[in-house]
Structure 1
Amino acid sequence: MPTLPQWSGVFPAVVTQLHEDQSLDLPASARHFEALIDSGISGLIVCGSLGENQTLQPEEKRAVLKCAIETARGRIPVLSGVAEMSTQAAIQYMKDGEKLGAAGFMVMPPMVYKSDSRETAHWFRTLAAATPLPWMLYNNPVGYHTDVTPEMFVELADISNLTSIKESSANPRRITELRNLVGDRYQIFTGVDDLILECSILGIDGWVSGSGIAFPQENQKLWQLTREGRWDEARTLYRWTQPLMKLDTHIHFVQYIKLLCQETGLGREWVREPRLSLAGAEREQVLKIIRDALAKRPASE
């Protein structure tokens, strides 16, 4: 088996750009992908939770992935989220993604049905066997109510193409627990934006960022400051970004981040039903958070 890549750095999980009528806006997606690549990201993840995976039709998911791969032109790896409701649908999507040229996948637990630990392990093992490509396991017990514990990652360590973990339990202790149990077996990414400094100090390899897709230059700079151990500067920049990053932790995070992208000129706020775009007092409150932060945006270097 060939040596699999070791992913690291910022791999933003991107929104799926839509027209107001809820149809795909692939040209807008391509422009957004290009802006992210220009900022210096190390990889790109489409069709995750923020990408509204579960509301997209099968052919739409494949179209978004194809658009990202064609835009990237091999400059960075492009991964796709796998968030399906059945094992067979997930396997088919992974096979199609491989044919399109995906570099790998970010695999979520089964959607809708809340699997127990035996079923969860079976799900991930079955999908791993369906592709030779590397993949990242997305652990988000807060959002999906399925927890892959550090002890379970010990049991899964024999899966050769499971290379990375997106750790989104919102418990930074997990970073150290994982390192103590499995060492450097996996590349560990944080998936909670407003825990980036805590997780960086504890020792991570990468960041699956969400809100930072709306301010990619500053997001990339923050990551670089953590890599260089320039903590005073990192704290200063983080204090500016934190109100914006916190938008990624709400049940309406898709609507919030799409509105944030609209305010920074990197997208539109339109979402796919059953989600509805923000309205009334909630929209005004989120806009105030965004605009207050952008009024204090650090000067570009």
Structure 2
Amino acid sequence: MATPPPDGVYVPVPTFFQPFDKSAYKQPLDLTAQTEHTLFLANAGITGLVLCGSTGEAVHLTPGERAELIRSQKTALVEGGFSNVVIMAGTASQNIDETIGIIAESKEAGADYALVLTPSYFATAGGYSEEGLRNWFTAVAEHSILPVLVYNYPAVTNNLQLSLSLMKHLASHPNIVGCKLSHGNISHHLILSSTKEINHDKFRVYTGLGQQLLPLLLSGPGAAGAIDGTAAYFPKTLLRIWNLSKKISAANGNVTKEEWEEVHALQCAYSEVEEWVVKFGTIGIKEAVKKVLGISVGQDGGRLPFCEGASGGGGPAKQWENFRGAFEAVQDFEGKL
């Protein structure tokens, strides 16, 4: 039976690109900026990275770029003395063979776990049944050479929501060790982390929304942590929320008034700044990395078609001042940690 990843805070990191070469319509990887960001997060104490996930624009990368990205960051972590930092590899694909191949290439490049996104191309056409999805994930898990986490993110999968019955079934597979839930249904988080139908020692529940971390960690024994985009620039704050929440949970709430007040204040401020990601997604995360950390993210942040006008009109660069207060509040917390 596969071992689940350690509990904690994981960062789905953006992929950094060099300036856009219009003549060739290419934006090469910027591995220098990528490594700078990776080492910043490792120094902050994060548990692990997700590379080539949704925030990492996996669908905009070639298979060779995915492997190059993972290999370069694994090397940087080892050489920097952070070999304990876990790497999860996003494996977004629509077919079983390709997904299994991406997982194999990711392991060879240095990944420890596979974060497997729900296939969804025909979701709005009524092409998927619970039985079909169950068999798809089971086939991937049985042939994956990495332990698998199920990635349920309806916003990028044609609003396809994996049912509780399906998640409970998948949780029993010996090579499926957890899930990332990137949706606002806290009830599903609570049930999957609490139900006695799941062995919580081998199946861990991570929220993809940092604004849900405190309630998740107080919900049940299967609650593990967060895989959250805002931690790309405010990692220490989310780590502090995680540590305080785990302490409160272990003590059954028997902690000091000051600790309760601190975790509530941190979660509130963090949730306020999460509204930036709710509004702007991946491009917003990259804009915030540039603004908060001063790390180059490339022209307009992402790859085509993301970068087309991403900083113009009502995009994140134009809206920064409207969110400045929320960012400064968390930066104040971050600077004290």
Pairing 1:208-287 to 2, within 5 Å after superposition: 208-229=227-248, 230-250=259-279, 252-265=280-293, 266-268=295-297, 269-276=300-307, 277-283=310-316, 286-287=319-320
Residue of structure 1 in register with 2:8 after alignment: 9
Question: 2:88 matched to 1:79?
Answer: yes
CA separation of 1:156 and 1:31: change in aligned 2, threshold 3 A: same
Residue of structure 1 in register with 2:224 after alignment: 205
Match of 2:114, SS state, is strand
Question: 2:211 matched to 1:194?
Answer: yes
CA separation of 1:295 and 1:249: change in aligned 2, threshold 3 A: closer
Deviation for aligned residue 1:60: 0.9
CA separation of 1:167 and 1:281: change in aligned 2, threshold 3 A: closer
Deviation for aligned residue 1:34: 0.6
Tell me the matched-pair count: 299
CA separation of 1:111 and 1:60: change in aligned 2, threshold 3 A: farther
Question: Which segment drifts farther, 207-216 or 289-298?
Answer: 289-298
CA separation of 1:132 and 1:61: change in aligned 2, threshold 3 A: closer
2: CA distance, partners of 1:20 / 1:290: 26
TM-score scaled by structure 1? Answer: 0.92
Residue of structure 2 in register with 1:167 after alignment: 181
Question: Which segment drifts farther, 10-19 or 214-223?
Answer: 214-223
Question: 2:173 matched to 1:177?
Answer: no
Question: 2:327 matched to 1:291?
Answer: no
Residue of structure 2 in register with 1:20 after alignment: 19
Deviation for aligned residue 1:94: 0.9
2: CA distance, partners of 1:109 / 1:84: 8
1: CA distance, partners of 2:230 / 2:263: 17
Aligned CA-pair RMSD: 2.0
Residue of structure 2 in register with 1:91 after alignment: 100
1: CA distance, partners of 2:5 / 2:69: 24
2: CA distance, partners of 1:283 / 1:102: 32
CA separation of 1:240 and 1:154: change in aligned 2, threshold 3 A: closer
1: CA distance, partners of 2:168 / 2:145: 21
Asked whether the 8 Å contact 2:214–2:241 carries over to 1, the reply is: no
Asked whether the 8 Å contact 2:104–2:145 carries over to 1, the reply is: no
Asked whether the 8 Å contact 1:136–1:162 carries over to 2, the reply is: yes
Counterpart of 1:209, as a letter, is: D
Match of 1:169, SS state, is coil
Structure 2: state its 5+ residue gaps: 21-26, 249-258
